[in-house]
C-alpha cells in the first residue's frame, strides 16, 4: 500500500480524498469549474459568456462568477421564489445577470412543477412522490430555445454552459442542436441520471449518445450520488467539444 492509498484510507470516513498529481497529464474530476478554466486556457480561449440554467438560488452561480471574473455569468431560474433569492444572492457579483426564464426543445409557455424541496422543481413529474418531493403545485413559465435565444442576444459563443434541470437536461440540449453542431458551446456541465426519478427524463445513455454524436467528449464525473449498495443514482458530467483532427 502506497502512502497516498494509506492516507486516503484514513480520510475516507471524512469524505476527503487525496490525488497524486500526474506530471504527464492533468487530473480532471475534482473541481469542474477549475477544470473548465484550465481547458479553456489550454485552448487559448478567454471565456466571455457563461450560462447557468437551473440556477436555483445561486449555489453554483456565485462560484461561476468568481471563477470567471472576466465573463458575463447569466443565471436562469423560472421559479419565482427561487429567482427572488437568486437575485439577492447575486447582487455582490457585478459580472452576473439574472433571468426569470427556463429552456427546452422549443419556445413556448409550459407547465412547471413546484415542490416543497425547491431543488427538485422541474418540468417533469416525479415517479415516486412523498410530502417533500411530491408534484405539489404547478405554474406556467416561459420556455426559451437556446438555438433561438443565443443568437438573438448577439452572443457568438457560449464558453461554459451549466445545466441542472432535474431530468430535463437532454431536452434543453436538443434545443441547442445547431449551436452544438457548430461548436458554439465549448463546455457543458450537466446532470447525468442513472436511475429513473422523473417521468420522461433523459437518462445517462441517451444524453451521452446525443452529445458524443455531436463530437463532445466526457472530461470527467463530479459529485456522484450513490446508494450504500454501490448503485449510482446520478452524477454531473463535464463535456468538451472535440478538436478537429490535425
Domain boundaries, the chain: 34-241
Mean pLDDT of 38-60: 97
Residue 25 pLDDT: 62
Instruction: Give the strands of the sheet with 137-144, arranged side by side.
Output: 102-103, 137-144, 108-114
Name the nearest CA neighbour of 186 among 159, 219, 147.
159
Give residue 5's pLDDT band: very low, low, confident or very high (50, 70, 90): low
Residue 131 pLDDT: 46
Name the nearest CA neighbour of 162 among 80, 49, 45.
49
Q: Provide the grid cell at 206.
A: 441517451
Residue 110 pLDDT: 95
Q: How far is CA 63 from the centre of its chain?
A: 13
For residue 98, the SS3 value is strand
* pLDDT tens-digit map of 202-229: 899 999 999 999 999 999 999 999 998 9
Q: Provide the grid cell at 216.
A: 463532445
Mean pLDDT value across the chain:
90
Q: Is the dihedral of CA 140, 84, 55, 50 positive or negative?
A: positive
**In Å, what is the CA distance from 223 to each residue of 29, 129, 200, 238?**
9, 24, 23, 11
**In Å, what is the CA distance from 15 to each residue of 10, 12, 194?**
10, 5, 22
* pLDDT tens-digit map of 132-159: 555 679 999 999 999 999 999 999 999 9
Specify the length of the chain in residues. 246
This prediction has a pTM of: 0.90
Determine the Cα–Cα distance for residues 147 and 173; give it in Å rounded to an integer.
9
Residue 224, burial from CB neighbour count under 10 angstroms (0-12, 13-18, 19+): middle
Residue 117 pLDDT: 85
Other Cβ atoms within 10 Å of 172 Cβ, number? 24
Determine the Cα–Cα distance for residues 8 and 18; give it in Å rounded to an integer.
6
**In Å, what is the CA distance from 143 to each residue of 105, 139, 146, 206?**
9, 12, 10, 22
Has domain 34-241 been given CATH number 3.40.50.150? yes
Amino acid at each position: 500500500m502506497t502512502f497516498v492509498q494509506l492516507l486516503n484510507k484514513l480520510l475516507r470516513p471524512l469524505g476527503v480524498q487525496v490525488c497524486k498529481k500526474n506530471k504527464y497529464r492533468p487530473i480532471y474530476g475534482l473541481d469542474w469549474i477549475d477544470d473548465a478554466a484550465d481547458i479553456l486556457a489550454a485552448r487559448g480561449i478567454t471565456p466571455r459568456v457563461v450560462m447557468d440554467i437551473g440556477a436555483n438560488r445561486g449555489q453554483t452561480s456565485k462560484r461561476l462568477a468568481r471563477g470567471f471574473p472576466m465573463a458575463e455569468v447569466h443565471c436562469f431560474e423560472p421559479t419565482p421564489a427561487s429567482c427572488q433569492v437568486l437575485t439577492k444572492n447575486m447582487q455582490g457579483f457585478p459580472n452576473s445577470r439574472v433571468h426569470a426564464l427556463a429552456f427546452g426543445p422549443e419556445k413556448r409557455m409550459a407547465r412547471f412543477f413546484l415542490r416543497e424541496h425547491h431543488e427538485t422543481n422541474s418540468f417533469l413529474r416525479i415517479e415516486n412522490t412523498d410530502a417533500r418531493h411530491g408534484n405539489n403545485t404547478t405554474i406556467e413559465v416561459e420556455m426559451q430555445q437556446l438555438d433561438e435565444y443565443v443568437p438573438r442576444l448577439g452572443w457568438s459563443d457560449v464558453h461554459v454552459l451549466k445545466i441542472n434541470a432535474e431530468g430535463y437536461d437532454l431536452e434543453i440540449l436538443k434545443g441547442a442542436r445547431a449551436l452544438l453542431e457548430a461548436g458554439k458551446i465549448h463546455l457543458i456541465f450537466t446532470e447525468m441520471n442513472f436511475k429513473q426519478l422523473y417521468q420522461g427524463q433523459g437518462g445517462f445513455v441517451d444524453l451521452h449518445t446525443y452529445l458524443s454524436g455531436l463530437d463532445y467528449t466526457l472530461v470527467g464525473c463530479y459529485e456522484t450520488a450513490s446508494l450504500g449498495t454501490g448503485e449510482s443514482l446520478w452524477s454531473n458530467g463535464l463535456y468538451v467539444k472535440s478538436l478537429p483532427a490535425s
